[in-house]
Structures are given as structure tokens and as C-alpha cells.
Amino acid sequence: MSNNDVPDAINTHGDDNIPIGMLSSPHIRYCVTKYGIIEAYEEDCLGPATYNMRIGGKVLTWDRGKKISFVLGPTEDKNKNILAEIELKPNSLTFVTTIEKFNLPKDIIARFNLKSKWVHQGLLLGTGPIVDPELRANLLIPLHNFSSQPITLNHNDQLISVEFTKTLNPDDNLPAKGEKTAYVPNESRIFDFDKYRKRIESKKVESSISSSMEIYDSKIGEHSKTIGENTEKFNKRIWWSSWIFGLTIFSAVVGLALFYYTTWQVVDSAKSQVHEAYEIVKQHQDQQNQSNNVDFESRILDLEKRIISLEKDYELSTYKPQDNPDQHENRLESVEQGVEKLEKEPGRQTDSQDSK
């Protein structure tokens, strides 16, 4: 449908109920009722000086280069590609459509922006706020989710707040350099939504942050793989090093144990040999001392026997008949007893027999 087939937009300057300036809620309602400036109007969406337009209709987005297109409707029907809600992923760009449609006169413009509840959640509106006069179309709005969390929008959610302003009379002809100036009509007043949507689809309009994140994720994945492989190699080296270190420590402990055991055996053997040598020396000394004692006692015994023998010879040689025979016999008996006593002492009988 060409612009020539569309009736010219009206001029409300002949209506004294609409003053120049920003319209309040009574004026907005009046313009909706008399001039139909908003199609699909809902009274609950009207504020003190704005009208809150709702989200619904066609949705377009991309996820890692893949185009996603569907219709946001009141009830879900996946067979017809209709969803009841949309999830705006972090760092994503999504094109959404308003349920309401503008039908603006020649002398009324609109300004819009996101409602504060969506701004506070991290959404950003990606278009300018001015809607030119004579526009007859829905709005196709690009939404940026700059938050780190997904944001969910449902069909019929109030998305943008729109204010309306009545301009000066567009039909005024004012002199300029000797010529009168005329109103410049809005050549894009009939917005071809499908044509515009297809142009966006062909260009793959996607958030640069999301694309960068995809590249970074890919690089991170490659680096993570490399790090994982290097970590595995390092762990294997650590494992082998631990085994080698453990075997080295074990060998050192075994070697020290063998060294101390061998040393202990050598020292114990040396102590045993020293003790044996000490016993041999002591035994030799005892034998030598015993031999010396026996030899000395043997000489003493011989001397005692000689003395007794001399005493006996003396008694026999000095005996006189006039001496008392009993006294002489007693002395001889005493000498004999002394000899017997010497011969009965331990260790002397054999020596006396040897001396005999």
C-alpha cells in the first residue's frame, strides 16, 4: 500500500479541546476517542500524563549466531511458534513489538522510554524516544540486557511509557527569504513492519558483547583444553616424581638400616673377641700364679720336712740313757705328727710325694 493510497493525516488545530503542549490523561483519552491516536487502547494502561504500551507480537533475536524468531502471544502454542514469555539472556539484543499501534495526527508527536522497573533490572532501550507525526504502525523496539542475569518478559507486560505533545500548527505558511514555507509530510508514516524485520534478519543484528563473549568463550575453551592437558602431564610427572622420591627415601632407609646392622655386628663381634682375649689372659695369669704358688709351697714343705728330719736326728743323737724315756718318746711323736700334718694338707700330699 503506497503513501498515495493513505488518506492525509488530520490537523487537530481546529479543535480547541486540545491545547498546544504536553497532553495529560484527559487529553490523551479525548484524542483516542475522537481521533484514534492509539489502536488496541486499554484504559488500565493510562497514567496521569502517559500511556504505557504493552509487549506482544513478533520477536526476533540471535543466540551465538543462530536466529530465533517467534510470536509472543497470550497462550503458548509451539506448533504455531507462539510463546507466552520471552527470556532475555545476559548481554543479548532482542527486538520486540508493541501490541498498540500509533495513528498520529499531523500536529501530535510522541516520546517514549522504558518503564523504570525494567531499567532497574538492567534493560536498555536501543532506539530514540521521538515518534514523528502521521506515523501509523506498531513499534519495533530493540532491548539490550546489560545485566548478568536473564530477564523474563510476558505477553501483555507494560514495557514503555509514551507521552504526547501537540505542536504548533503545521499548516502555517511562514515567509522565509521572500517565500512561504510549507509543512514537510512524513514520508515514512506507513511503516512496513515485515519489510523492516526482514532487513534486520538479513543483517544479523546481534549484541557485540554477546559476539565478543562467544569469541572469548571459544578462546577460553581452547586455553582450558590446553591447560587441562598440561595439568594432566604435570600431574603424571608429579606422580612419577613422587614414586621415585619415595623409592629413593626407602632405599636410603634400607641402606642406613643395613649399615647400622653391619656396624652393630662388627662391634659386637669385636667385643666378643676382646672378652675372649681377656678371659684367655686372665686364665693364663691365674695358671701362672697358681704354678708360682705351688712351686713356692713345695719349697716351704721341703724346708719344713728337713727341719723336722733334723730335729728327729738331733733327738736321736742326743738321747742319753739317763734321760726320761717318756719325754724322748713324746718329742719323737710330736715330730712324727708334724710330718703327717704337712702331708695331709690340700695340694701338698702330691707335692711331698713328688719331692720324695
Q: Provide DSSP, 91-143.
A: TEEEEEEBSSEE---TTEEEEEEE-HHHHTTTEEE-S-SEE-TT-BS--EEEE
Q: CA dihedral defined by 196, 198, 204, 205, rounded to 10 degrees?
A: 20
Provide the pLDDT for residue 167: 95
Provide the pLDDT for residue 207: 58
DSSP three-state, residue 188: coil
pTM: 0.58
* pLDDT tens digits, one per residue of 130-160: 899 999 999 989 999 999 999 999 999 999 9
Number of H helices, E strands in the chain: 6, 17
Pick from 111, 103, 100: which is nearest to 10 by CA? 103
Angle at 173 between CA 169 and CA 174, to 5 degrees: 105
What's the mean per-residue pLDDT of the chain? 81
Could you tell me the sign of the dihedral formed by the alpha carbons of 146, 152, 150, 142, in that order? negative
* pLDDT tens digits, one per residue of 58-80: 999 888 778 899 999 999 998 99
Among the listed ranges 54-58, 273-277, 282-286, 339-343, which one has the minimum average pLDDT value? Answer: 339-343
Residue 312 has pLDDT above 80, yes or no: no
Q: Are 137 and 102 in contact (CB under 8 A)?
A: yes
| Number of other CB atoms surrounding residue 283 within 10 Å | 10
DSSP 8-state secondary structure symbol assigned to residue 30: H
Q: How far is CA 160 from CA 111, 153, 155, 299, in A?
A: 10, 13, 14, 147
Greater model confidence, 319 or 263: 263
Provide the pLDDT for residue 183: 82
What cell was used for 190? 506507513
Provide the pLDDT for residue 354: 46
Q: Are 4 and 70 in contact (CB under 8 A)?
A: no
Q: Which residue has the cell 690340700?
A: 346
**Which whole number is the average pLDDT over 231-256?**
85
Strands, sheet with 123-125, edge to edge from the N-terminal-most edge strand = 82-83, 66-72, 57-63, 92-97, 140-145, 123-125
By the 10 Å C-beta count (0-12 exposed, 13-18 middle, 19+ buried), 250 is classed as exposed
Pick from 151, 154, 160, 147: which is nearest to 115 by CA? 160
Cβ within 8 Å of residue 292, ≥6 positions away: none
Q: Are 130 and 165 in contact (CB under 8 A)?
A: no
**Domains detected in the chain:** 3-168+182-206 (2.70.40.10), 226-355 (no CATH)
Provide the pLDDT for residue 355: 44
What cell was used for 84? 507466552
Provide the pLDDT for residue 30: 97
Among the listed ranges 105-119, 168-182, 246-260, which one has the minimum average pLDDT value? Answer: 168-182
Using DSSP bridges, classify how beta strands 66-72 and 82-83 pair: parallel, antiparallel or unpaired: parallel
Q: How far is CA 129 from CA 112, 120, 143, in A?
A: 5, 18, 13
At residue 2 the predicted structure's pLDDT band, cuts being 50, 70 and 90, is very low
At residue 174 the predicted structure's pLDDT band, cuts being 50, 70 and 90, is confident
**Which whole number is the average pLDDT over 299-312?**
72
Pick from 102, 112, 100, 119: which is nearest to 56 by CA? 100
The pair phi, psi for residue 91, each rounded to 5°, is: 60, 40
Q: How many residues does the chain have?
A: 356
Residue 210 has pLDDT above 70, yes or no: no
Using DSSP bridges, classify how beta strands 57-63 and 92-97 pair: parallel, antiparallel or unpaired: antiparallel
Provide the pLDDT for residue 32: 97
